Structure 1
Amino acid sequence: MSASVLSGVAWRKSRHSNSDGSCVEVAGLPDGRIALRNSRFPGGHVLVYTRPELAAFIAGAKDGEFDDLVTGP
C-alpha cells in the first residue's frame, strides 16, 4: 500500500530511534489495523497488519526471538 493512501494518519516512531532517522514508524488506522513504514522513505510503501499479527510480533521481540538479527553472528 502506498503511503499517500494513508494521508492524515498520525505516524509515530520509537524514542529509541537513532539520530540519522533510520527507524520504523507506526500508525493506527481507523479500521483498527496498524500501518508500518520506513521513516527514511515516508512516501514509500506501507505494510498494514491486524492488531493480533502485530501483537504476536511484538511479543516475540520482547522475548528476544529476533535478537540475532540485530546483534550479528
Structure 2
Amino acid sequence: MVAQVESTFSPQSVIINHLGKVNLVNQTKRSDGYGNFVNDHGAFELSKPNAPEIFSVIPKGDRTMQKKKGY
C-alpha cells in the first residue's frame, strides 16, 4: 500500500480530471510483486473545499492475480 501511494505522488504523475473525478496518475509503470507492471491511480476526496485528501489508490494494468488460499 505504501509503495502505491509513493508511486502515485511521484514527479512523473499527472492530474486527470474526468467527469468531476480528479485522479493523480503515475505514467511510469512499477512492478507489483506478482509479475505485473502497473500504473497507480490516486483518487481524491474533494468534499472539503480547502483540504483535498487521498481517498484510494488503485493499480491499473494487472493481469496476473495472487493465488487464493483455500481453507
TM-score w.r.t. structure 2 length?
0.40
Answer 1 or 2: which has greater strand percent.
Answer: 2
Provide TM-score, normalisation by structure 1: 0.39
